[in-house]
Amino acid sequence: MARPLDGILVVSIEQAVAGPLATCRMADAGARIIKVERPEGDLARGYDNVAQGESSYFVWLNRGKESIVLDLKNPQDFATLEVILAKADIFVQNLKVGVLDKIGLSREKLRATYPRLIMVSISGFGEEGPFAHRKAYDLLIQGEAGLASLTGGPEMPARVGVSIVDIVTGMNAYEAVLEALVLRARTGQGADIRISMFDSIADLMSVPLLHHIGGKTPKRSGLTHPSIAPYGVFKTRDGYDILISIQSDREWRILAGDILGNPALADNPDFATNVERVAHRAATDEMVQQVFATMDADHLIAALIRTDIAFGQINDMAGLLRHPHLRQIEIKTQHGSVKYPAPASIPSYDFEPVPSLGQHTDKIKREFLSHDAD
């Protein structure tokens, strides 16, 4: 099956999650990814060893790539990188701000030497400002951008349970690359794309920030929604946690009449509109909980389905593994195959293996440094 990025060559000096996620999406779409690793390898290789003896993070984000080990302080290895870059369409890097300049790959040089090259730089806080040269990792940005302040229960802030900052940043980088490829097809010119982790999460914080500016600073509320009620978790008679989401006053009328057995709530001025239900959240939730506590989960779920009320259950990892909608892919590694959730894009490609450290070093050098690599 032809893929959208067939024929595109990507060179990536990447670490951890954000950069590798962006290039993983490119690899899935058909691009050739040459992953430049230092002699000790991408630091994510050492995060854990739960995936057939390999790191879960590395196995997740590095399928279909070629690994070449280069010491960029070594003049010969640096020259090899320049030869490969001369053939590249895209260059991705998430080195610390200023490192590219120090090793002799300034943007000005890259732009002048390779005018069609699409350059993607991922940083923590951008490349200017007081925090530009700080090291930045996922949890630190969750704190700095205010995300942790809204996550968890009332008692204390919490980390989002996955590396959400890195993931969003990587997806932003991938999106920007696709836009740049479209523009290059029209103009013949490359691009200088700069994506910061802080910007990526600050963008997601727009609604809470607007609430704060409007005088209604959101508070941590666990499994509820700060702007919608009822929207949260309620316990059934037999002890199951059921999440419901009432998105409109029309849905509230259905819930009140058909599930709660109290249609008069639809006209009660304290509960008739979402704004009032949020203002009286404790009373709203208490009415829902009282009724749900009289029903077993199977009976309640059947009623919610019948009335088309949105609901869900709180699965753990075992529940996710059993979920009827979980699609998985099987990826080969040097120590065996690993299965994990499929990417959300619809096409079902044949996914290539995860590379061992430096697996393709000799092959790539022969290809690009031979006299035939003009």
Q: Give Cα separations from 136 to 124, 139, 144 (angstroms).
A: 5, 9, 10
How does strand 191-196 pair with strand 228-235? unpaired
Tell me if residue 133 is catalytic: no
- Which stretches within the chain are classed as H helix? 18-28, 56-61, 75-85, 99-103, 107-113, 138-144, 164-187, 197-204, 206-213, 249-254, 274-279, 281-292, 297-307, 317-322, 361-369
Q: Which residues contact 351 (CB under 8 A, 6 or more apart)?
A: 28, 63, 64, 329, 331
Q: In the chain, what is the greatest distance between 2 CA atoms, to the nearest angstrom?
A: 83
- DSSP class of 374: -
CB 309 within 8 A of CB 255: yes
CB 52 within 8 A of CB 333: yes
Give φ, ψ of 272 to 5 degrees.
-65, -30
- Quickly count helices (H) and strands (E) in the chain: 15, 12
Element of type H or E holding 51: none
Residue (of 138, 173, 252) closest to 10 by Cα position = 173
Q: Give Cα separations from 307 to 99, 228, 251, 271, 321 (angstroms).
A: 59, 19, 9, 20, 28
- Of the candidates 211, 225, 335, 360, the residue annotated as catalytic is 225
Rounded to 10 deg, the angle between the 164-187 and 18-28 helix axes is 50
Written as six digits, the tokens of 104 are: 């002799």
CB 126 within 8 A of CB 132: yes
Omega prior to 20 cis, within 30 of 0:
no
CA atoms within 13 A on the CB side of 342: 14
Residues with catalytic function? 225
